[in-house]
Structure 1
Amino acid sequence: MNEILNYLKECGTFYLATTEGDQPRVRPFGAVCEFEGRLYITTNNQKKVFNQMQKNPKIEISAMNKGTWIRLEAEAVWDDRREARAAMMEDNEASLSRLYSVDDGIFAVLYLKNATATIFSFTSEPKVVTF
């Protein structure tokens, strides 16, 4: 999992896909962290993306870095614990502190469950990591 965490951090921006009914929805994300051995992402609990993940937790993440690209399939599980929000804020303070505070009521974190990440390149076989 640490390899995937580092990959996403190096990318800076990654793209998260959800569904709304039968329509795919994709948007850029940028904050990720590890907490209690799990990979976490964050969003605002007032956004459509949060509601989409609550209705259908199956997501995909994609990003590209240094001639490779990743496809990460997982289920996003909301973690409402303050400790999880604090860990995300601490690890991403520069980008998140202007948007959220740990106890603002809108800062939501979700961990990735049943995750399979595949890193692809044009020069080698795909590498698969499950966590």
Structure 2
Amino acid sequence: MDFEDCIKFANETPVCYLATADGDQPRVRALGFWFADETGFYFQIGSVKDMYGQMQTNPKVEACFWQPDEQTGTMMRVAGEVEFLDDPELKKKVLEDRPFLKEFGMTFDHPGLIIFRITHGEAYFWTMQTNFEPKKMIKF
């Protein structure tokens, strides 16, 4: 497996679970995933979310992408650092890809529209068949 496999797996998984830290308390939640490419894993959230402040304080996060099958499925875990992106073109793209955001009053220049990506980290895949094998880390 390589980083291209990570990109493909993430792009086929519309929801992941993202863990942040709130002081010394871990917080995890399901989160709609936007897209992945060679530069990282992209997400969009609102600035009113607690997770936005948590990631500003501690940019280290971990995401878990899971695809079920007849048994336990395949999981990919991605750990890295968050990079916030204030890019008008990306914000226009997220509004095209997610038109429901406009119903919440979001525009590309709305200060509450937050885009971030996970960069500079590592990922690995897990299945029940590989459960007892050493993790094969994929750096990105």
Asked if these proteins are the same fold (TM beyond 0.5), I'd say yes
Aligned length: 130
Distance apart, 1:127 and its partner CA: 4.4
Please say if 1:89 is aligned against 2:95.
Answer: yes
Return the match for 1:17 from 16, 19, 23. Answer: 19
Distance 1:68 1:81 in 2: 33
Bigger-Rg structure (1/2): 2
Give 1 or 2: higher strand fraction.
1
Distance apart, 1:29 and its partner CA: 0.8
Tell whether the 8 Å contact from 2:7 to 2:38 is kept in structure 1 after alignment.
no
Distance 1:29 1:14 in 2: 6
Compared CA separation, residues 14 and 36, structure 1 to 2 (3 A): closer
Distance 1:18 1:25 in 2: 5
Tell whether the 8 Å contact from 2:65 to 2:77 is kept in structure 1 after alignment.
yes
Compared CA separation, residues 5 and 26, structure 1 to 2 (3 A): same
State the AA in 1 paired with 2:11.
K
Compared CA separation, residues 108 and 2, structure 1 to 2 (3 A): farther
Distance 2:10 2:53 in 1: 23
* Corresponding position of 1:130: 139
TM-score w.r.t. the length of structure 1 is 0.82
What is the percent sequence identity of the aligned residues? 28
Tell whether the 8 Å contact from 1:58 to 1:75 is kept in structure 2 after alignment.
yes
Which consecutive residues of structure 1, in runs of 5 or more, have no partner in the other structure? none
Tell whether the 8 Å contact from 1:60 to 1:71 is kept in structure 2 after alignment.
yes
The CA deviation string for residues 49-77 of structure 1, in whole angstroms up to 9 with x for no partner, is: 01100000000001211411111101001
* Corresponding position of 1:73: 79
The CA deviation string for residues 17-46 of structure 1, in whole angstroms up to 9 with x for no partner, is: 001111111111113224683332111112
Which consecutive residues of structure 2, in runs of 5 or more, have no partner in the other structure? none
